[in-house]
Structure 1
């Protein structure tokens, strides 16, 4: 009897220990597997970007920041409700893209252009960026004069962004960046048409 009880107890103990071990292995396996997959995904992502992707992100961050800055002026200066709505749409679209672009740069070990480093004069004539004088001039306008200047400047700005996005699609290697570039081309080309319509142009 004693030997049977001992065997039963031992069997129960072994089964319980085995079950506990299985639970631990299962939990540990899920955790380790998840971490391993995340690390593998991170490594894969790190290996799929190139110089064109870095240039795209570094160029588009200040470019978008200026567009958001310009759009922010419309609320208190624009006369046309359509211009105000367009400006709101630009802010809503490009604000989150700035965050995404900045996140990519950080993950790649690259410096994110500092907000204070957005020197308009550095970008004047490239990518449709406005210089300091143009920005100051826009800030000094209101009503219909602001609407006209804003639309003309933003068309130029958007054309620059579309050109930058086309380069990314042609030369980039990072799939999410190329996808964003495609979105920029589609959305900003549509907005260019919208702005030209507001200006009464063909």
Structure 2
């Protein structure tokens, strides 16, 4: 038997056995992709907010929260980007807001709210940040529902559960700092 036929035969056997580069069955679905694609820009906004707080917060406890949230969201963003890339899916979602109406719309902080935080006087920055970040984290919790209800990838569902639980705790923590 010639070497080319041997290579083809071995390749065919490996593909049939599920050992090839093409997975026999995808371990994700459209809900997983949508969740990650929508969570990434939400995290990007969160990083913008925490970046401002790390620079401008007066209360050290507010700076500490911002540092912690910044670190967690950076790690989660790397993970989500890695999964989408490995799945051969784009990391950016469809930018048309109408494309997201069937699942509750985009869960994002408005540009006007971010602009208000940027221009907040130093004496009002901490309270403005805490209120805005509380709403922002609530958006994250809401977005996890789409994954937990319709996702198929175990790792993505686990991430959604982690985000839901950790952001809920952070919301309580932020509310305590506002009070």
Higher relative contact order by CA 8 Å / sep ≥ 6: 1 or 2? 2
**Corresponding position of 2:23:** 43
Structure 2 gap ranges (5+): 1-13
1:151 aligned residue (106, 130, 141) = 130
Residue deviations 1:118-166 (CA, integer Å, cap 9, x gap): 99xxx9x955422222211111124341111111111111111011112
TM superposition score normalised by structure 1: 0.70
**Unaligned stretches of 5+ residues in structure 1:** 1-32
Runs of 4 or more consecutive aligned structure 1 residues displaced over 6 Å after TM superposition:
none
**In structure 2, how many angstroms separate the alpha carbons of the residues matched to 1:77 and 1:37?**
54
Change (3 A) 1:162 1:38: farther
Query: Does the 8 Å contact 2:46/2:136 carry over to 1?
Result: yes
- Cα distance in 2 for residues equivalent to 1:79 and 1:57: 33
Deviation at 1:43?
Answer: 2.1
Superposition TM-score, scaled by structure 2 size = 0.78
Cα-to-partner distance string for 1:58-104 (whole Å, 9 max, x where unaligned): 00000001001100001221111111000001111000111111111
**Partner residue, 2:60:** 81
CA contact (8 A) 1:71 1:87 kept: yes
What secondary structure does 1:113 align onto? Answer: coil
